[in-house]
Amino acid sequence: MTKQQAIDVLREHNYKLTPQRDIIMDTLLSIDGYATVKYIYERVKGKLPCISPDTVYRNLEILSSIGIVDKSNVGSNMVYEMHRDAHTHIMKCLMCGKVEKLDICPLDYCLNRIKDFQVVEHHIEILGYCNKCADRKEPDR
């Protein structure tokens, strides 16, 4: 989704483009993939020092509820990204918390063979260890 498309969606849902939403959307557009609220907050705070984590979270939830932002549950964390036309699946490193998108949908083969049921949404979360963390002993949980 482009920034102009996001602004149009805000207006369609009777929301204003506040400075906070503007910076949050710019931040999400500059990130390739999903990010945690904490990560987004740290980036936004650099541009808007008076913003609180709660304000970032509330705005992400609003943007998510109207389809501007996609959110996904990764372990015990919610992660966010600007809405993309294609759905995505993610992998999370249990050691460092790094989140990566899969380039494929592992369920494409199965979903095409389901009869008498229309799938409208699905989520895949793969947990494991990235290459940098694979040799370390204790995961951060």
Would you list which residues are annotated within the binding site for Fe cation?
A: 122
- Which residue(s) pair with 126 in the sheet? 91
Rounded CA separation 21/28 (Å): 10
Determine phi and psi for 49, rounding to 5 degrees.
-60, -25
Q: Are strands 90-93 and 99-101 parallel, antiparallel or unpaired?
A: antiparallel
Tell which phi-psi region holds residue 108, choosing left (phi > 0), alpha (psi between -120 and 50) or beta. Answer: alpha
Which is nearest to 66 in space by CA: 28, 23, 12? 12
Residues flagged as binding site for Zn(2+): 93, 96, 130, 133
Residues at the annotated binding site? 93, 96, 122, 130, 133
